[in-house]
């Protein structure tokens, strides 16, 4: 049985403007320009403002403009054009002045290593069938230059996609042709095969032969650094082992990377913030060099005025009026959201800069204070989730390098004296200890724990192991060198 009743509910819902701001906060500077251009393409009311037009709009705003009021009770034009008599230039998102230096991000053009290999194949005297199979193999290579696809699966691919019926033996012969291309090691299926392919191209000196012996017969022991087992099983001296390993260390485990870097030249980090030290005083700037200025299109605002002044409106004109009103609202929200984004980013970064002032002045990581999202949220009176969005994908350029903003956040730990220190400080000490250790006798986790305790950091061995893993540092046995 259906009943109809009136009910009141108290709900919290985000407005479209708030959702837009949240999304823009997550966008880093390097992607903001593209996001703005996307909005301009989708909303015809929104357009870029050139420097000359911006200066002109500022001068025009100094003169008083008279606006006629409409008697239409259904629609008030001032709600959309005058915006409570705010001059039009104030609706522009002013991210830089005309005197600012304009810096563009350079992009390196280049070809991928697959394209390089295809060019090499074009220079080989081979029949069309072999060329097509070789091109298929090259197309299956990963970014490191390895062939990760099984040969049997590739036989099926060639049969279905190119109507080439081949065998595993023929495919293996063509693979040898690909492996003969430059750089050495390309087309390998395993790391062991990759390194051996590179050794086969070298002049077969005594050290190269030793390296080949180690990789072909004792690869597992080599990867685990069980050097004593290799010397015993191979009946070689420690000096011979060292010469062989030195030869292996000269090899490239990712041959595709040597040619693939040029194809990835457009992967850059553009800082969202720039901090400079001006004689002991920190200066913070938002990086908005490539962000276009925005304004409402005069064509559409004038069109709206014309429709509003019209006494008789057809259904088509009413639909057009509704469309323009919606697009103007959307454009105003976007311009306002850009302003709020810039303001929120600056307030947050300014709070972080002041909180970690000693570090940004000296560059000493041991000066970093323990800092969590809540600390900054309480300073700028924003929600923790907002601070998280700001810090998660933004970079700051400092006199000591460019860093991800969230890397400055760390938990606290108490020393023996009761002083709170950042866990990043402990990681820095660990990193320094390991970089200064004797390579033939690296420090174990127990020894590192003792060193930290001597410095006043009373932490457990498992915690030291966790921090070491976070620093991507292997265990002592794998750091050992002859």
- Of residues 201 and 320, which shows the higher confidence score? 201
Q: How far apart are CA 456 and CA 450, in angstroms?
A: 10
Are both 152 and 262 inside the same structural domain? yes
Task: Write the pLDDT tens digit of every residue in 212-250.
Answer: 998 988 888 888 888 888 888 888 888 888 888 888 888
The pLDDT of residue 407: 83
Q: HSE of 67 in the Cβ direction (CA atoms, 13 Å)? A: 21
- Do the domain assignments include residue 176? yes
Are both 273 and 259 inside the same structural domain? no
Print the domain residue range for 463.
Answer: 412-479
Q: How far apart are CA 122 and CA 136, in angstroms?
A: 14
Pairing of strands 401-404, 293-296: unpaired
Are both 328 and 402 inside the same structural domain? yes
State mean pLDDT over 13-31: 74
Task: Write the pLDDT tens digit of every residue in 361-395.
Answer: 988 877 888 888 888 999 999 888 888 888 888 88
- Of residues 328 and 98, which shows the higher confidence score? 328
State mean pLDDT over 311-336: 79
- Do the domain assignments include residue 93? yes
Are both 381 and 434 inside the same structural domain? no
Looking at 241, 267, 293, which one is the last position of a domain? 267
- Do the domain assignments include residue 171? yes
59 close to 316: Cβ distance less than 8 angstroms: no
Looking at 374, 389, 409, which one is the last position of a domain? 409
Are both 256 and 275 inside the same structural domain? no
**Considering the entire predicted model, what is its pTM?**
0.55
Are both 362 and 385 inside the same structural domain? yes
Are both 261 and 272 inside the same structural domain? no
- Do the domain assignments include residue 387? yes
Are both 326 and 427 inside the same structural domain? no
- Of residues 397 and 3, which shows the higher confidence score? 397
Are both 115 and 256 inside the same structural domain? yes
Looking at 391, 409, 427, which one is the last position of a domain? 409
- Do the domain assignments include residue 89? yes
Are both 378 and 460 inside the same structural domain? no
- Do the domain assignments include residue 10? no
Q: Is the peptide bond before 183 cis (omega within 30 degrees of 0)?
A: yes
Could you give the number of structural domains in the chain? Answer: 3
Are both 311 and 348 inside the same structural domain? yes
- Do the domain assignments include residue 223? no
- Do the domain assignments include residue 208? no
Are both 404 and 445 inside the same structural domain? no
Looking at residue 426, which CATH number applies to its domain?
1.10.10.60
């Amino acid at each position: 049985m259906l009943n109809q009743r009136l009910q009141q509910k108290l709900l919290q819902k985000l407005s479209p403007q708030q959702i837009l701001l949240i999304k823009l906060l997550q966008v880093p500077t390097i992607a903001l320009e593209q996001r703005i251009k996307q909005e301009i393409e989708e909303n015809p009311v929104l357009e870029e403002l050139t420097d000359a037009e911006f200066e002109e709009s500022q001068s025009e705003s100094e003169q008083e403009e008279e606006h006629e009021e409409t008697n239409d009770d259904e629609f008030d034009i001032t709600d959309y054009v005058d915006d409570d008599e705010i001059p039009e230039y104030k609706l522009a998102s002013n991210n830089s002045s005309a005197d600012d230096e304009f810096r563009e991000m350079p992009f390196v053009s280049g070809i991928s290593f697959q394209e390089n290999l295809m060019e090499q194949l074009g220079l080989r005297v081979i029949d069309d069938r072999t060329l097509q199979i070789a091109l298929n193999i090259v197309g299956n290579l990963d970014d490191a230059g390895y062939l990760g696809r099984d040969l049997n699966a590739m036989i099926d691919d060639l049969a279905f996609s190119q109507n080439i019926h081949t065998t595993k033996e023929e495919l293996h012969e063509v693979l040898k042709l690909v492996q003969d291309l430059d750089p050495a090691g390309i087309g390998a299926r395993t790391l062991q095969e990759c390194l051996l392919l590179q050794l086969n191209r070298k002049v077969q000196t005594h050290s190269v032969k030793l390296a080949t012996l180690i990789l072909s017969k004792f690869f597992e022991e080599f990867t685990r650094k069980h050097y004593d087992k290799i010397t015993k099983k191979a009946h070689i001296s420690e000096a011979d082992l060292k010469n062989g390993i030195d030869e292996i260390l000269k090899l490239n485990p990712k041959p595709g990377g040597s040619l693939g870097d040029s194809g990835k030249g457009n992967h850059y980090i553009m800082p969202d913030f720039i901090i400079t030290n001006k004689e002991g005083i920190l200066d913070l700037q938002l990086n908005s060099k490539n962000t276009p200025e925005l304004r409402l299109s005069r064509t559409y605002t004038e069109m709206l005025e014309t429709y509003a002044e019209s006494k008789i409106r057809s259904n088509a004109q009413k639909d057009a009026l509704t469309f323009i009103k919606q697009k103007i609202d959307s454009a105003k929200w976007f311009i306002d959201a850009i302003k709020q984004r810039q303001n929120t980013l600056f307030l947050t970064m300014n709070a972080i800069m002041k909180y970690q002032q000693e570090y940004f002045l000296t560059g000493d990581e041991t000066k970093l204070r323990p800092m969590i999202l809540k600390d900054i949220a309480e300073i700028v009176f924003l929600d923790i989730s907002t601070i998280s969005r700001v810090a998660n994908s933004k970079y700051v350029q400092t006199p000591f390098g460019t860093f991800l903003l969230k890397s400055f956040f760390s938990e606290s730990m108490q020393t023996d004296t009761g002083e709170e220190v950042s866990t990043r400080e402990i990681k820095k000490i660990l990193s320094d200890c390991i970089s200064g250790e004797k390579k033939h006798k690296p420090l174990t986790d127990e020894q590192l724990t003792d060193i930290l305790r001597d410095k006043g950091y009373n932490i457990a061995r498992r915690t030291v192991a966790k921090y070491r893993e976070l620093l991507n540092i292997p265990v002592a046995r794998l750091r050992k060198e002859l």
